Structure 1
Amino acid sequence: MFEKAILSMAFLRMFSGSIEIIVAFIILKLNDIEKALLVNSSLAIIGPIILIVTTSIGVVGLSEKISFSGIFWIFIGVACILYGVKGH
């Protein structure tokens, strides 16, 4: 039997992947570079949200096994990833 946190994390990743595939088909159907860029840019919002929510679920699942400072460093790491991806 899987833990609830594991199932939630896996579901979110499957949902995120499904959105990516659907967007790929939408881009093909549009067959217009400007519209394709607009649709593709919408994924820039979804990706970080899924990352943060999935990480939060995992950290909550570990909350009994990990110290507060460990949780703090995990969220600092996620923030650094998001900052780095944004390309400052």
Structure 2
Amino acid sequence: MFVILEKAVLGMALLRLLSGCIEMFAAFVMLKFNDVEKALIVNSSLALIGPAVLLITTAIGLIGFADQLSLKKLVWVVVGVGFILYGVKS
């Protein structure tokens, strides 16, 4: 009858919901300004939020999953996230 959610999953989902709300708010701000330059500034500021949300949600997931991962697999996950961030920035 009751659904018990893991704290890590709940934290990750709430952070993604917050990120989505910020994205929607930014879209409304762009529409309100109705100016390409201001919309580009708003869009550029969102570029800072995306990687931060990725890192934080990954960290929450790894903390919640750390007891089940070996050190070798944990290192591979961290390296993979590093590659993703490097690919996005380049």
Give the TM-score normalised by structure 2. Answer: 0.94
Identical amino acids, percent of aligned pairs:
54
Counterpart position of 2:30: 27
1:8: how far off?
0.1
Q: Deviations over 1:2-34 (max 9, x none)?
A: 000000000000000000000000000010111
Give the drift of 1:68: 1.2
Q: In the comparison of the two structures, how many residue pairs are matched? A: 87
Structure 1 segments unaligned to the other structure (5+ residues):
none
In structure 2, list runs of 5 or more residues that go unmatched.
Answer: none
1:1-88 correspondence runs (5 A) = 1-87=4-90
Quote the Cα distance in structure 1 between the aligned partners of 2:46 and 2:78: 22
TM-score (norm 1): 0.96
Q: Kindly report structure 1 stretches of 4+ aligned residues shifted beyond 3 Å.
A: none
